[in-house]
């Protein structure tokens, strides 16, 4: 499964974090404008609409978790249910890493950790929550030694 981007936004439509796979990156400003347009499209949809739409050659799958929109871009041929499962796994990994339910404030407060998890997510099809927790335990230990 080839992930093209991940975008996090609040209910107000403000993009809090966006990450593009290197082969789909368009430059910082162009990526930001693209992410804002995708969030507008997702927010403008009715509640009884399906949870995906198409943007050029990309299928954009989104889910709403509380006040947080999570948008993931994949190829048009990808399985929609599999993408929803992966979004759930991504949120669960973020929950484990930031310590509790992920909200907008967590994205701002732990942006480095969020980027680390999303980068791992974009790199490979499997996202192991236990592997991420082990790496963060090591990083937390290293930070405590530096203090």
Residue 145 reports pLDDT greater than 80: no
Backbone φ/ψ region at 57: left (φ over 0), alpha (ψ -120 to 50), beta: alpha
Q: What is the pLDDT of residue 32?
A: 86
The parent domain of residue 30 ranges over 3-146
- Confidence at residue 123, expressed as pLDDT on a 0 to 100 scale: 75
How much is the pLDDT for 147?
A: 63
pLDDT at 130: 58
Q: What is the CATH number of the domain that holds 30?
A: 3.30.450.60
- Cα–Cα distances in Å, from 56 out to 9, 35, 53, 73, 142? 21, 14, 10, 11, 44
Per-chain mean pLDDT for the chain: 83
Measured at the CA of 125, the angle between CA 59 and CA 141, to 5 degrees, comes to: 125
In the numeric block, which tokens belong to residue 2? 């080839």
* pTM score of the predicted model: 0.82
Q: Could you tell me if 29 and 127 are in contact, meaning their C-beta atoms sit under 8 angstroms apart?
A: no
Structural domain total, the chain: 1
């Amino acid at each position: 499964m080839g992930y093209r981007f991940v975008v996090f936004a609040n209910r107000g439509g403000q993009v809090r974090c966006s990450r593009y796979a290197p082969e789909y990156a368009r430059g910082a400003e162009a990526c930001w404008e693209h992410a804002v347009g995708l969030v507008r499209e997702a927010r403008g949809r009715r509640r009884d609409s399906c949870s995906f739409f198409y943007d050029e050659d990309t299928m954009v799958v989104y889910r709403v978790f509380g006040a947080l929109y999570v948008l993931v871009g994949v190829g048009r041929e990808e399985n929609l249910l599999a993408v929803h499962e992966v979004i759930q796994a991504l949120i669960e990994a973020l929950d484990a890493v930031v310590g509790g339910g992920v909200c907008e404030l967590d994205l701002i407060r732990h942006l480095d950790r969020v980027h680390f998890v999303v980068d791992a997510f974009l790199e490979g099809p499997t996202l192991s929550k236990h592997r991420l927790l082990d790496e963060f335990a090591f990083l937390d230990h290293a930070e405590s030694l530096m203090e």
